[in-house]
Amino acid sequence: MSRARKNPLRSMTSAALIWAVMLTFPVPASAQSKPLKQIYVGVSSVSMGNIIIYVTKEAKLFEKYGLYADPVAMRGSGESSKAMIGGSIQVAPIATPTVINADLSGSDLVILAHTLPGVVHAMIVKPEIKRVEDLKGKRVGVTTFGSLTDFLVRHILRKKGLNPDRDVALIQIGGDPERIAALKQGAIDAASLSFPGYGIAMKMGYPMLWDSAKEIDYPWIEITTRRAIIQKDRDMLMNYMKAHLEGTALFKKDREFGKKVIKKVLRVDNEELVNESYDIFAKGFLPAPYPNTAGMKTSFEYVAATRPEVWNHKPEEFTDRSFVEELDRTGFIKKLYEK
**Domain range summary for the chain, segments of one domain joined by +:** 31-118+219-336, 121-215
User: Tell me, what's the pLDDT at 330?
Assistant: 98
Find out whether 245 and 327 touch, Cβ atoms under 8 Å.
Answer: yes
Find out whether 44 and 72 touch, Cβ atoms under 8 Å.
Answer: no
- Least confident span in 1-5, 34-38, 124-128, 330-334: 1-5
Same topology, domains 31-118+219-336 and 121-215? Answer is yes
Distance CA 303, CA 16 (A): 69
* 32: pLDDT strictly greater than 60: no
User: Tell me, what's the pLDDT at 30?
Assistant: 41
User: Tell me, what's the pLDDT at 309?
Assistant: 98
Exposure string for 108-141, b = 16+ CB within 10 A, e = fewer: ebbbbbbbbbbbbbbbbbbeebeebeebeebbbb
Q: Across all residues in the chain, what is the average pLDDT?
A: 90
Distance CA 90, CA 232 (A): 12
* 125: pLDDT strictly greater than 70: yes
- The strands making up 169-172's β-sheet, listed across from edge to edge, are 169-172, 139-142, 190-194, 121-125, 208-211
Please give the CATH topology (third level) of the domain spanning 31-118+219-336: D-Maltodextrin-Binding Protein; domain 2 (3.40.190)
| pLDDT (tens digit per residue) in 249-277 | 999 999 999 999 999 999 999 999 999 99
User: Tell me, what's the pLDDT at 15?
Assistant: 36
Find out whether 217 and 303 touch, Cβ atoms under 8 Å.
Answer: no
Distance CA 184, CA 173 (A): 13
User: Tell me, what's the pLDDT at 217?
Assistant: 86
* 208: pLDDT strictly greater than 70: yes
**Cβ contacts of residue 9 below 8 Å, gap of 6+?**
none
User: Tell me, what's the pLDDT at 175?
Assistant: 87
User: What pTM, to 2 d.p., does this model score?
Assistant: 0.83
Number of Cβ atoms within 10 Å of the Cβ of 72: 14
Please give the CATH topology (third level) of the domain spanning 121-215: D-Maltodextrin-Binding Protein; domain 2 (3.40.190)
User: Tell me, what's the pLDDT at 33?
Assistant: 66
pLDDT band at 174 (very low <50, low <70, confident <90, very high): confident
User: Tell me, what's the pLDDT at 52?
Assistant: 98
